[in-house]
């Protein structure tokens, strides 16, 4: 079989992990604890679902094509909210709506790279970013991080070549959970600006950042749009994962190139999802604030429970948004550990090998826990099962 673009990358990690469940029975007194995927399991709040249903019934436009770059009213509202959140001025023509944030990243990469170009990814990386670069024929250049999981701008500078087209950051980070300090993000922006490349900042989990006020001041920089490509998702904020609504904020000229990609892939974002995102932004600020507080409380619960695991040799490397990223204490690689946890502990999580280059020894010592769907009691059960392990 000839080599193909899809064969150039690995299988989707979450789907791969789900296959580990095949043939495994979970007793009633020890049901499966699934911390493998960072997605809400609950539907949107009832008021939003009712509004979506009414829109689908009463508006013919709910079922028709719309503008490739998204509906004007949603672009206007998102531009206004970005401006308020970052204490800056962003115009609606600098914003585009996409069919999820993964599509936003794919569209941006397609618009700024050619075959054999390079994009720098801090490791551990978000696996879908790596997968798309592989399939696009773009080399992912690994930027290792230390125990604090924070990338080093000086180390990134040493990796720049005439093929480098962008550096991609995720903050709050997936998989590590860490929130990148504002001065660190600015240092990467200045590096990219001076090098004439793009800084892609994926802020899918922005709404669950523990900090108050703007998390960085990139939108306040003169001509920010010439360097910054900001990615966002409505999926986590309003539980719209199944409706696939993401966004890009950047230069108008770059959006014109991105439009070519979007027009050939999905033509336009779904109308019901766009309506839901707009309705949520306008009507659910207090509900979203409560959701954020709940996630922050679960993060606090992990800190309180932490000694249960650290006493057994576990080490917390990163915590924030939906994620806790650990170094495990066992003398087996994390991919083997993750598989054995399913029958032995009734826990499904992802190993660090899914976020690292093949053969990287750090990945074999690390695991990711996506904790957003566990309440305090569920977290207590998870930690009890992990601390009882013996391999």
Tell me: do 17 and 129 sit in the same domain.
no
Residues 320-330 have pLDDT tens digits of: 999 999 999 99
Neighbouring C-beta atoms of residue 31, cutoff 10 Å = 10
Chain-wide mean pLDDT for the chain?
A: 96
Q: Of 6-10, 164-168, 169-173, give the lowest mean pLDDT range.
A: 6-10
Where residue 387 falls (left for φ over 0; alpha for ψ -120 to 50; beta otherwise) is alpha
Question: Which of 283, 302, 325 corresponds to the end of one domain?
Answer: 283
Tell me: do 19 and 59 sit in the same domain.
no
Question: Which of 251, 283, 315 corresponds to the end of one domain?
Answer: 283
Between CA 23 and CA 36 the distance in angstroms is 18
Query: Would you say residue 325 lies in a domain?
Result: yes
Query: Would you say residue 181 lies in a domain?
Result: yes
Percentage with pLDDT > 70 across the chain: 99
Tell me: do 350 and 221 sit in the same domain.
no
Tell me: do 57 and 180 sit in the same domain.
yes
Residues 102-127 have pLDDT tens digits of: 999 999 999 999 999 999 999 999 99
Q: What is the CATH number of the domain that holds 31?
A: 3.90.1150.10
Domain containing 378: what range?
Answer: 6-43+287-387
Residues 200-237 have pLDDT tens digits of: 999 999 999 999 899 999 999 999 999 999 999 999 99
Tell me: do 267 and 346 sit in the same domain.
no
Query: Would you say residue 1 lies in a domain?
Result: no
Tell me: do 191 and 252 sit in the same domain.
yes
Tell me: do 227 and 366 sit in the same domain.
no
Q: What is the CATH number of the domain that holds 237?
A: 3.40.640.10
Query: Would you say residue 224 lies in a domain?
Result: yes
Between CA 389 and CA 21 the distance in angstroms is 19
Percentage with pLDDT > 90 across the chain: 94
Tell me: do 241 and 295 sit in the same domain.
no
Tell me: do 338 and 196 sit in the same domain.
no
Query: Would you say residue 247 lies in a domain?
Result: yes
Q: Which two tokens stand for residue 203?
A: 């802020």
Tell me: do 305 and 161 sit in the same domain.
no
Backbone angles phi, psi at 169, to 5 degrees: -115, 150
For residues 344-361, one letter each, b for 16 or more C-beta atoms within 10 angstroms of the residue's C-beta and e for the rest, the string is ebbbbbbbbbbbbbeebe
Residues 29-54 have pLDDT tens digits of: 899 999 998 878 889 999 999 999 99
Backbone angles phi, psi at 217, to 5 degrees: -115, 30
Split at pLDDT 50, 70, 90, the class of 1 is: low
Question: Which of 283, 317, 332 corresponds to the end of one domain?
Answer: 283
Query: Would you say residue 63 lies in a domain?
Result: yes
Tell me: do 239 and 298 sit in the same domain.
no
Are 389 and 331 in contact by the 8 Å Cβ rule? The answer is no
Query: Would you say residue 194 lies in a domain?
Result: yes
Tell me: do 153 and 52 sit in the same domain.
yes
Number of domains in the chain: 2
């Amino acid at each position: 079989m000839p080599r193909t673009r899809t064969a150039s990358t690995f299988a989707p990690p979450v789907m791969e992990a789900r296959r580990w469940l095949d043939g495994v029975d979970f007793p009633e007194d020890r049901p499966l604890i699934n911390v493998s995927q960072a997605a809400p399991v609950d539907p949107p709040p009832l008021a939003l679902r009712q509004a979506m249903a009414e829109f689908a019934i009463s508006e013919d436009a709910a079922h028709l094509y719309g503008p490739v770059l998204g509906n004007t009213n949603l672009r206007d509202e998102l531009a206004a909210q970005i401006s308020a959140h970052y204490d800056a001025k962003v115009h609606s023509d600098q914003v585009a709506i996409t069919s999820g944030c993964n599509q936003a990243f794919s569209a941006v990469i397609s618009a700024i790279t050619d075959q054999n170009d390079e994009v720098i990814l801090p490791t551990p990386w978000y696996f879908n970013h790596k997968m798309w670069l592989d399939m696009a024929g773009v080399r992912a250049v690994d930027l290792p991080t230390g125990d604090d999981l924070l990338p080093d701008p000086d180390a990134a500078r040493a990796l720049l070549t005439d093929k480098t087209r962008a550096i991609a950051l995720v903050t709050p980070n997936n998989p590590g959970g860490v929130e990148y300090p504002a001065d660190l993000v600015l240092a990467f922006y200045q590096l990219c600006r001076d090098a004439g490349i793009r800084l892609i900042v994926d802020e899918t989990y922005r709404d669950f950042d523990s900090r108050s006020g703007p998390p960085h001041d990139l939108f306040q920089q003169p001509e920010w749009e010439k360097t910054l490509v900001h990615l966002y998702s409505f999926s986590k904020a309003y539980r719209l994962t199944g409706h696939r609504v993401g966004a890009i904020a950047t230069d108008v000229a770059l959006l014109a190139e991105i439009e070519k990609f979007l027009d050939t892939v999905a033509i336009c974002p779904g109308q019901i999802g766009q309506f839901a995102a707009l309705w949520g932004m306008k009507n659910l600020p207090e509900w979203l604030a409560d959701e954020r507080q709940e996630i922050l409380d679960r993060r606090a619960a992990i800190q309180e429970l932490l000694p249960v695991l650290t006493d057994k040799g576990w080490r917390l490397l990163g915590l924030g948004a939906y994620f806790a990223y650990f170094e495990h204490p066992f003398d087996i690689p994390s991919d083997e550990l993750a598989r054995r946890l399913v029958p032995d502990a009734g826990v499904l999580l992802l190993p660090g090998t899914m976020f690292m280059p093949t053969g990287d020894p750090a990945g074999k010592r690390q695991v990711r826990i996506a904790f957003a769907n566990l309440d305090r009691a569920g977290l207590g059960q998870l930690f009890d099962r992990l601390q009882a392990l013996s391999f």
